[in-house]
Structure 1
Amino acid sequence: MAAWALVLAAGNAQALQATRFSPQGEVAQVRQVSVRFDAPAVQFGDPKAPAPFSISCSDAAASQGTGRWTSEREWVFDFAQRLPPGVRCTAQPNLSLKSPSGADWKGATSYEFNSGGPFVEQVRPGTWQALDEEQVFVLRLSGPATLDSIRASAWCSMEGLGERIGVRLLEGAQRDELLKALRMDQQAARAPLTIATLACNRRLTPGSKLQLVVGKGLATPSGVVTKVDKRFNFTVRDAFTAELRCERENAQAACLPIRPMTVAFSAPVPYKFASALRLRGPLEVAKPVFDSEEPAASAQGDTLVESVRFAPPFAESTAYTLELPKDFADAAGRPLANAGMFPLPVRTGAMPPLAKFAAAPFGIVERFAEGPNGPALLPITLRKVEPALRVQALGPAPGAAGAQMATLTPQTDADIIAWYRRVQTYDRSEVTRKQARRDARGALPPVLKDGDKNYLQTRMVSLLAGLPGARSIALPQADAADPRPFEVVGVPLSPGFHVLEVASPVLGASLLAPEYGAKRTMYVRTSALVTNLAVHFKLGRENALAWVTSLDKGKVVEGAKVQVSGCDGRLLA
């Protein structure tokens, strides 16, 4: 008995078994069969090594392919084409297979798998595209599906609607025209049941979220059914609207008369409609302008625009009316959803206050531009600011009110470089509060309720107020009743590098948020170099040449001293 047990044990040890067979059961998109054995099944590289399995499918043409040994333990079978939906396959083992060691086959008598039901491979339009209110979907399926199963398994789900929306299939000429436009007509002619054209059974709500579901039950003509849902998420395009946009001093102010007015459309509009808009005022009627050239008359119906612009300037404090042409519609023929707002009244405000240096954050002023005996002047444009632009070295004088101007004249190269960089930094719209605490003079503006705790506007902080060494410069004063509607004033400067800053409560009241308080002040700054000298520099391989000429005459300046400093201000040469 013991001897017989040893013989049986030895026989079991020599049995050849498949430890892995893939695929099994329902698997979509089958392209390959793979088998792995627990021991060497063949001599690897033997061209006469037999196949361990024979594979047969319900679709004989689909089961065509080739098998090969990838190692002494693994065999694969590659189908000539991916199995279409609804195909059932069986793999029968080759029981005559013996391993090189003489082991016989042992294990399952067969393996089965199928490619499952059809599924959606592609949907058009893509999920990234906005949908039309009457959108038609084109579905490319992995295999043929019956029309009845499509009707039964596909449905729409719309945001805010607590019920499923059924679908309707497009057929006949409407389907043919759509597929031809998408260049899918030839594919549909070869395999009509692989292309589905359908739409939701109700008009879609603009701006809503939509989900197209191709659910369980999608079936092949042979009856193989899909067992999982496939969902596609979309957004329906917004309603067609027109909106007038303009720049304002603040949210409550009227439109700035010196800035363009723009009419933006939520969807493309034919050029012929957009060009017919008019902005009607008491004395003139403005036509829209376009960035591109006007298309030919024959092409105006095909040219689409998304906005139009009315060019400034406009009359101050004047009422205008924006008028639309009759039958105004977008490229899809949709009328305006907000058509009741038109004709739209719009009003311009007064010219806003302005203080602007001719060059910022840096400029060069020729010393003798006004003549050999004239002062060097840095132009600053003023409009509707304080009549008295008083200059203070360390802040406002007792009892004085109005715009202040301070100037600083650094002397050393290190100071000049540091101030040049600082003014460049504060020419940006924002800086960190940490940096402003290092550079600014005086208290920083408060953090608003919804404001940024880490950044502040550079126009709200002063770099010169209260700074030792800052001095004042007198400007021509306007009459007390003169609102300075518009003028250019020359700021007299001595030779050298200057940092200038204007402080204006009028600018602050107009351009800064009211939440910053009634005494909010806005600062405008620049830097300037007043000189009559120009330095020329020629760098060679072994040495360099520098010479100086005058700006007024262009002649070489004899005996000029040239000093070269590094970015940190240290003397180099």
Structure 2
Amino acid sequence: MQGVLSGRRMLGAWVGLLALALGAGAAGNAASAAGSGGPEQPVEIAEFLPQGRVSGVEAVQLRFSGSASAFGDAAAVAPVALDCQGRVPQGQGRWLDDTRWIYVFDTTLPAGVHCAARANPGFRDLAGQPLAADLRYEFNTGAPSVADVRPYSGTTIDEEQVFILRFDAAVDAALVAQQSHCVVQGVGEKIPVRQVSGEYRESLMRAAYLPQPVEADSLALLQCARVLPPEAQVRLEVGPGIRALEQAGSLPGSQKAEIWEYEVRPPFMASLSCQRERAGQPCLPMTPVSVTFSAPVPREALQGISLRAGDQQFEVESDTDGQDFLSYVRFPGPFPANATLTLALLEGLQDDAGRALENSERFPLAFKVAGYPPLAKFASGTFGVIERFAHGRPGAAPQEAAAVPVTLRHVEADLTARGMASPPGRVSNLRSVDDAQVLG
């Protein structure tokens, strides 16, 4: 009886354990079912552009890992809010599709702008979930830099050159001048830079072939505070520490100087040149005489230039008719052989920058003209040929004049031509009959 009871008790215990297990399984299934029917996980931002230090920013773009907005819903809320500091243009955001959102600025962001993107509290994805509250993306356009400069680096400048700098953002030109200086070869100190008044800006811009910028404050006109010595090597150094107007306070100024190198033009001088048989000899009488200036000279100032041989005056000729400034003039010739010519310039002659002629004490300048030399010499050295067509080339249009109206010179007066008579040759026929005659 006790064995039967014990068996029944064990059976009841097993039944109880089975019921407990079944109850636990049912509870687990219920919990699992409840979990599967709960709220979905929110979608995440898979890509955000731009980030960090960038330039030329026109738009902000982000892409979600899945559908985040109803496609085609024009009233859909922006997922992020942009907070920008600096001179920021207006813009507008929109959804491109159910996973991509973009914010487009009306114009490209200038330098000196800092932007931060945070989750928009009013945004909910398709499952009704917000973005993470600590979401944050940042980017900035850095400090301003020079986008264009006149004159170009490596060119020749004058002693009081004005440098035109166009920045990629609005700047305070006076502060730019304070952060800049000139370095001149042979001068043991940095030369300060001063700002040039805006009243000269339009004329200087036209002279440099530069259009007026959209942002007027992006220009800075600078000039070395000291007249530069001729032919000196010069460096213009701008920065560091250049900041944009209204630049974000969290952004530092430019970190290093921008440098351009130049060479100051030589002093204003005049020089005479002509063709010679060899160095140190007088000028050839049939070739032009040229006067070259190291800087442009007003055309009217050259009307007083003259070239004379005694009472005979030679006309000046220029290949640049119509120009207001000239760098050379030419006297075409020909000139009297073995004569002395005198070149005179206008007294007080100045170049386009108002500089006086550095070597004015050399003028009036007297120089010699040689005799007519042979243009083709022979071994005897007693005669030469100078021109084939004494009256111009046949068929030339227009008719060309000869440089010198003779063909031969330095020919002996008693030179005669001798004819040489030679007897006519004898013609005969050779008829060979064997190999020996042919080989012989």
TM range, normalised to the smaller chain?
A: 0.5 to 0.7
The DSSP-based 3-state class of the residue aligned with 1:151 is helix
2:258 is matched with which residue? Answer: 230
1:132–1:72 CA distance, 2 compared to 1 (3 A):
farther
1:32 is matched with which residue? Answer: 59
Aligned-partner Cα distance in 2 for 1:108–1:259: 87
Query: Are residue 176 (structure 1) and residue 199 (structure 2) matched?
Result: yes
Aligned-partner Cα distance in 2 for 1:21–1:292: 61
2:17 is matched with which residue? Answer: none
Matched AA of 1:216: P
- Structure 1 residue 167: deviation in Å? 0.5
Query: Are residue 357 (structure 1) and residue 388 (structure 2) matched?
Result: yes
Task: Within 5 Å, give how 1:119-518 maps onto structure 2.
Answer: 119-127=145-153, 130-146=156-172, 149-159=175-185, 161=187, 163-171=189-197, 175-179=198-202, 182=205, 193-220=217-244, 222=246, 225-291=253-319, 303-354=324-375, 355=385, 356-358=387-389, 382-384=407-409, 387=411, 478-479=413-414
Aligned-partner Cα distance in 2 for 1:73–1:25: 23
Contact in 2 for aligned 1:353/1:382 (Cα 8 Å): no
The DSSP-based 3-state class of the residue aligned with 1:213 is strand
Aligned-partner Cα distance in 1 for 2:62–2:88: 20
Unmatched runs of 5 consecutive residues or more in structure 1: 296-301, 365-379, 388-476, 483-488, 490-573
The DSSP-based 3-state class of the residue aligned with 2:337 is coil
Aligned-partner Cα distance in 1 for 2:101–2:406: 85
1:66 is matched with which residue? Answer: 92
State the structure with more CA Rg: 2
Contact in 1 for aligned 2:314/2:333 (Cα 8 Å): no
- Structure 1 residue 129: deviation in Å? 6.0
- Structure 1 residue 153: deviation in Å? 1.5
Aligned-partner Cα distance in 1 for 2:111–2:226: 31
2:421 is matched with which residue? Answer: none
Aligned-partner Cα distance in 1 for 2:55–2:357: 47
1:62–1:242 CA distance, 2 compared to 1 (3 A):
same
Contact in 1 for aligned 2:77/2:122 (Cα 8 Å): no
TM-score where L is the length of structure 2: 0.66
1:44–1:255 CA distance, 2 compared to 1 (3 A):
farther
1:35–1:183 CA distance, 2 compared to 1 (3 A):
same
Contact in 2 for aligned 1:261/1:309 (Cα 8 Å): yes
The DSSP-based 3-state class of the residue aligned with 2:220 is strand
Contact in 2 for aligned 1:152/1:217 (Cα 8 Å): no
Root-mean-square deviation (CA), in Å? 4.3
- Structure 1 residue 95: deviation in Å? 6.3
Matched AA of 1:307: Y
1:63-93 CA deviation, whole Å, 9 max, x = no partner?
Answer: 5311234455443211123334443322112
Contact in 2 for aligned 1:278/1:288 (Cα 8 Å): yes
Count of aligned residue pairs for this structure pair: 355
Matched AA of 2:176: I
- Structure 1 residue 343: deviation in Å? 3.0
Aligned-partner Cα distance in 2 for 1:308–1:113: 61
2:435 is matched with which residue? Answer: none
- Structure 1 residue 53: deviation in Å? 1.6
- Structure 1 residue 275: deviation in Å? 2.0
- Structure 1 residue 255: deviation in Å? 1.4
1:238–1:73 CA distance, 2 compared to 1 (3 A):
farther
1:343-365 CA deviation, whole Å, 9 max, x = no partner?
Answer: 33322222121334349xx989x
Aligned-partner Cα distance in 1 for 2:260–2:128: 55
The DSSP-based 3-state class of the residue aligned with 2:83 is strand
Aligned-partner Cα distance in 1 for 2:260–2:56: 20
1:128–1:72 CA distance, 2 compared to 1 (3 A):
farther
Aligned-partner Cα distance in 1 for 2:65–2:232: 57
Aligned-partner Cα distance in 2 for 1:322–1:180: 37
Aligned-partner Cα distance in 1 for 2:55–2:191: 28
Contact in 1 for aligned 2:180/2:239 (Cα 8 Å): yes
Contact in 2 for aligned 1:56/1:63 (Cα 8 Å): no
Aligned-partner Cα distance in 2 for 1:285–1:329: 24
1:177–1:98 CA distance, 2 compared to 1 (3 A):
closer
